[in-house]
Amino acid sequence: MPTGLATRWNRLRYTAWAAFYDRVVGFARQRKRAIELLAPRAGERLLVVGAGTGADLPHLPRDVEVLATDLTPAMLARARPKAGPHVELRVMDGQELELPDESFDAVLLHLILAVIPDPVACLREASRVLRPGGRVSVFDKFVRAGQRPGLLRRAANLPARLLATNLNRVLEEILTAAAAPLRIEHDEPAGFGGMLRILLLRKDG
């Protein structure tokens, strides 16, 4: 599916998901752990790409300036009650961030790289807006580099891709294709038999 058409489909399907997303997708423990590894510091600027209904927002320190973006207005409407005075919500495409270069200290990519039509563009954009030495928190479902998804996972991916997410993306391949100055600093399993992973990336410089 062409990226433009896939992006429009994403907005439509997540508009439909918005009303009950919080009852289906939680992962509070994993989100807290990922943010703990990111270690946002007072006064930093933090970008949340694909903020959805704002499940990460309650776990973020209030002394950090947060911009939470999402493609879908209906999702951000659900996020608004979770957003404190330190959080700005803005409709934005994670594949084309309308933000200046090197304007954030840290970026959250939680459950977005497996959803967004062009994860390479998303990761490249996250790196672009990140200051040298900045960090990226990634929490998502990935196939391990060098492994092939099993038959059951490949079968499950057919309806999953239509309804919500891709189960079979490989982070290392996305990172290589993005050709961004990002390196994996930490990687740990986060559930579902290792399907879920929490990673901390750092921008060189």
> What pLDDT does 179 receive?
97
Q: Which helix (H) or strand (E) holds 36?
A: helix 28-38
pLDDT along the chain (205 residues), means of 10: 76 82 86 98 98 96 97 96 96 97 98 96 98 98 86 75 82 97 97 90 95
pTM (2 d.p.):
0.92
pLDDT, residue 138, reads 98
**pLDDT of 9:** 72
Residue 5: the pLDDT is 78
- pLDDT for res 33: 98
Q: What is the pLDDT of residue 2?
A: 63
Query: From CA 79, how far away is CA 67, in angstroms rounded?
Result: 12
Distance, in Å, from the CA atom of 30 to the CA atom of 34, rounded to the nearest integer, reads: 6
Long-range contacts of 178-184 (CB under 8 A, 24+ apart): 178/120, 178/121, 178/123, 178/124, 178/127, 179/124, 180/123, 180/124, 180/126, 180/127, 180/128, 181/127, 181/205, 182/123, 182/127, 182/136
Full set of structural domains in the chain with CATH: 3-203 (3.40.50.150)
The three-class DSSP label of residue 199 is strand
Question: Which are the contacts of 193, defined by CB distance < 8 A and separation ≥ 6?
Answer: none
Q: What is the pLDDT of residue 1?
A: 60
Please give the pLDDT value at position 18: 82
Concatenated DSSP letters of 70-135: ES-HHHHHHHGGG--TTEEEEE--TTS--S-TT-EEEEEEES-TTTSS-HHHHHHHHHHTEEEEEE
pLDDT in tens, 95-104: 999 999 999 9
Which pLDDT score, from 0 to 100, does residue 8 have?
A: 85
